Amino acid sequence: MRVYLIALLAFAGLAVAPFGIGGYETNVLMMVLFFVILAVGLDLVTGYCGQFSFATGAFYGIGAYTAAIMTRDFNTTIWVHLPAGAIVAGLFGLLLGIPALRLKGHFLAIVTIAFQTIVYLVISQWTSFTGGQVGLPMPNAGPVTVFGVTLFEFGSLRSYYWLTLAMTALTLLISWRLVNSRLGREWVAIRDDETLASAVGLDTTRGKLTAFVAYAALAGVAGVLTAHSLRGVTPDDYTIWISATVVAMMVVGGRGTFIGPILGAVFLAILPELLGKFAEYKMLIYGVLLVLVVTLMPEGVVGRLRARAAR
């Protein structure tokens, strides 16, 4: 119960935050929330289920392009895109989960890098469908109506921020329920010892595929939100460097600790803002940080703190 209370307070604080800060800061906060969704999603498949993925950027992009292409071709709204992005990305997650049934460790890592690269090639080269290097623009989400009555107009920065905040709360709640359910326990069992998991009667195929789908769907949701709030998509927002950034957030915070990747995302997403003119070095810093943390503290900051508290 205490967890829910703390979470509630945090979200209440974040909800009123736009009244106290400027537009730029609101934008930064919104970006932090995108990364929180991505890092928590990656933690499900890698931290809990032990299946490696460097393809977060790809699923993020699939969600974003689903929204952009549906807007262009069907003129649908964000309320359609959110479930659609989750479903399309989730289906691709299922597709990538199939190799994970047979491959382990580095082989799986290579396949996910190949997948990430293929998705990038498709969105940057297939100009007639995806807009190529230029990407696709997106109009405002428009008014939100119930029975013909306009509740509020979508378009202001704050409305996107609140929507993102609500979706972050929802995805965190779902993830929390997942890792504390029977399924979440099976994921950890698969991570610890797959042979044993199978020997005690667990269906490891179902375990791995559900983890991949959950991860991909969450990244897809983050993609839809990003596409709408940035008013468009360009391929360079969904590269392997995004995947690297999210891996760094998860590893630095602590794999499989739930709160760790959230804190990692907040810290590493805000870091470039604090660096001022050194912000262009952020990927360099992420890379070095990844090497250092994984060498000196592979369990991450939260993992280390918990181990210390248990002693």
Partner 1 sequence: MDLFLQYMANGVVIGSTYVLVAVGLTLIFGILGVVNFAHGEFYMIGGYAGIVAITVLKLPVLPAIAFVLLVAAVVGIAAEAILHKPMKNHDATSSIISSFGLAVALQNAALVVMGPQPQRLNLDVSKIPVLSSLPTDFGPVFLPQQRLLIPIATVLLIAILYVVLRYTWTGRGLRAMAQHATVARLCGVRVERVAIVTFITGAALAGTAGMLMSSVFFVYPIVGNMIALKAFTVVILGGMGNVAGAAVAGLLLGITESLTSAYISNAMRDVVGFVFVILVLLFRPQGLFGKAVERS
Partner 2 sequence: MTAPILEARGITKRFGGVVAVNDASLTVGKGQIVGLIGPNGSGKSTMVNLVSGELMPNEGTFLFNGTDITSLPSHRRARLGMARSFQLLRLFHSLSVEDNLLLANHMRMKASIAASIFGRSSAREEEQRARARARELLAWFDLQDFADRPVSALSIGQQRMVEIARGMMSEPSLFVLDEPAAGLSPPNVDKLIQLVRRLRDEFGVSILLVEHVMRVVRDLCDHVVVLDSGVKIAEGAPDAVVKDPVVIEAYIGTGWKRRAQG
Q: Which residues pair with 143 in a beta bridge?
A: 153
> What is the C-alpha separation between 225 and 34, in angstroms, rounded?
8
Lay out the site mask for partner 2 across 256-275 (x = CB under 8 A, - = otherwise): x-------------------
Contact segment (CB under 8 A) with partner 1 among 20-28, 60-68, 117-125, 227-235 equals 117-125
By beta-carbon proximity to partner 1, the closer residue of 87 and 297 is 297
Binding partner 1 (rule: CB under 8 A), the pick from 14, 111, 214, 216 is 111
Q: Is 58 in the site for partner 1 (CB under 8 A)?
A: no
The pair of three-digit structure tokens given for residue 149, joined into one six-digit string: 């009555």
Binding partner 1 (rule: CB under 8 A), the pick from 3, 236, 298, 307 is 298
Instruction: Say which entry of partner 1, partner 2, none residue 139 contacts (CB below 5 to 8 A, set by partner kind).
Output: none
Least distance (Å) between residue 178 CB and partner 2: 6
Long-range contacts, stretch 189-196, CB < 8 angstroms, 24+ apart: 190/49, 190/50, 191/48, 191/49, 191/50, 191/256, 192/50
Least distance (Å) between residue 181 CB and partner 2: 4
Q: Is 237 in the site for partner 2 (CB under 8 A)?
A: no
> What is the C-alpha separation between 246 and 269, in angstroms, rounded?
10
Binding partner 1 (rule: CB under 8 A), the pick from 38, 89, 225, 289 is 289
By beta-carbon proximity to partner 1, the closer residue of 105 and 142 is 105
Instruction: Say which entry of partner 2, partner 1, none residue 173 contacts (CB below 5 to 8 A, set by partner kind).
Output: none
Alpha helical stretches, state H, the chain: 2-20, 23-42, 56-74, 78-102, 105-125, 127-130, 157-179, 182-192, 194-199, 204-229, 240-253, 259-275, 282-296, 300-310
Angle between helices 105-125 and 56-74 (to 10 degrees): 30
Non-local (6+) Cβ contacts of 36 within 8 A are 168, 172, 261, 262, 265, 266
Instruction: Find, among 94, 46, 49, 90, the residue nearest to 66 by Cα.
Output: 90
Q: Is 2 in the site for partner 2 (CB under 8 A)?
A: no
Binding partner 2 (rule: CB under 8 A), the pick from 118, 196, 275, 279 is 196
> What is the C-alpha separation between 293 and 305, in angstroms, rounded?
14
Binding site for partner 1 (CB under 8 A): 46, 50, 52, 54, 98-99, 102-103, 105-107, 109-111, 113-115, 117-118, 121, 125-126, 240-241, 244, 247-248, 251, 280-281, 283-284, 286-291, 294-295, 298
Binding site for partner 2 (CB under 8 A): 177-178, 181-183, 185-186, 188-189, 191-193, 195-204, 210, 256
